[in-house]
Amino acid sequence: MLIAPEVAPEVAPEVVEALDAGRPVLALESTILTHGLPRPRNLDVARDAEGQVRAAGAVPATIGVLDGVARVGLARDELERLASDSEVVKLSTRDLPVAAATGASGGTTVAATAHLAHRAGIRVFCTGGLGGVHRGASETFDESADLPALARLPIVVVSAGVKSVLDVPATLERLETLGIPVLGYRTTAFPGFYVADSGHRITHAVHEPEQVAAVRAAADELGLDAAVLVANPVPEHEQLPPDVHDDVLARATAALVERGIGGQDATPFLLEFIRDATGGASLEVNVAVYRNNVALGVAIASAIAGR
């Protein structure tokens, strides 16, 4: 007889205590550790991010899955295990029940992290870049599960827009269709992850964390369940030079077509191509993006907790 596994997420005591006391908590994803950054840099970045959150007076809740158990708030040894194990997989929302039943371990994507953060009662989640509509999606229907997930999760998500390897205007159209408010942080230029300005405009800008908290509160009062997406551009002095970015992206896209790579392999190929072509400069931008988003995320979490 098949026995159903225990699938309830385990929330770290520190996170539970902070939430019960009304103190700020910031959720952090784990695919940046397992699949986004090279080892051992990934663990250093993860520790630095958690330290950054604590220094700002909040509690970090890095989310991942270990041996089938979703964990909201990883202990030090659990963080090290996820960051060092080359066998861990990438887990989206559809993969969570399978991981629970099979005992798999993995890093959680934006969709899965946002889902688990919301279940734990965390209101703010920070990532690097959001998934979106892939180039050529009119034929392949290739769209990240991040978008429909955020359409049903009433949290705040901080990201540097979407990765520029995606179809940015199509992604913005989908965000609008799904009813996900997009707030530019001190800008109406939608960021392009590696660059501060993707070349596309958004309607709404906010200038302080308290404004984001007010928008989230208003959305709650109106009964709107979609996430509020805060598009936070990387500082211009830390971005990839736009001319370099455009040249490398064009070459990466051409190589993708030439080699016939598609589906889930497309984005990792493009990001690796860009990293190699820029001599690792894009990796440093990736880290700068994440730190910048963590700083804003913890400020928003504090503003929400203080309302």
Give residue 2's pLDDT.
Answer: 43
Structural domain spans, the chain: 10-305
Give residue 1's pLDDT.
Answer: 36
Q: Which residue has the tokens 């709404």?
A: 204
Q: Which of 163, 236, 238, 272 is catalytic?
A: 163
Backbone angles phi, psi at 185, to 5 degrees: -85, 105
What does the alpha-carbon distance between residue 125 and residue 185 come to, in Å, rounded to a whole number?
15
In sequence order, the 6+-apart residues with CB closer than 8 A to the CB of 126 are 26, 27, 28, 29, 157, 158, 159, 293, 294, 296, 297, 298
Taking a C-beta distance cutoff of 8 angstroms, is the pair 168, 200 a contact? yes
Q: Which of 6, 10, 17, 29 is catalytic?
A: 29
User: At 5, is the pLDDT very low, low, confident or very high (cuts 50, 70, 90)?
Assistant: low
Average pLDDT over residues 197-214: 97
Written out in words, the top-level CATH class of the domain with range 10-305 is alpha beta
| C-alpha torsion angle, residues 59, 77, 96, 49 (rounded to 10) | 40
* 73 vs 130 pLDDT, higher one: 73
Average pLDDT over residues 193-218: 97
Average pLDDT over residues 105-120: 96
> pTM, whole model, 2 decimals?
0.94
pLDDT at 235 over 80: yes
Confirm whether 90 is a catalytic residue.
no
Confirm whether 163 is a catalytic residue.
yes
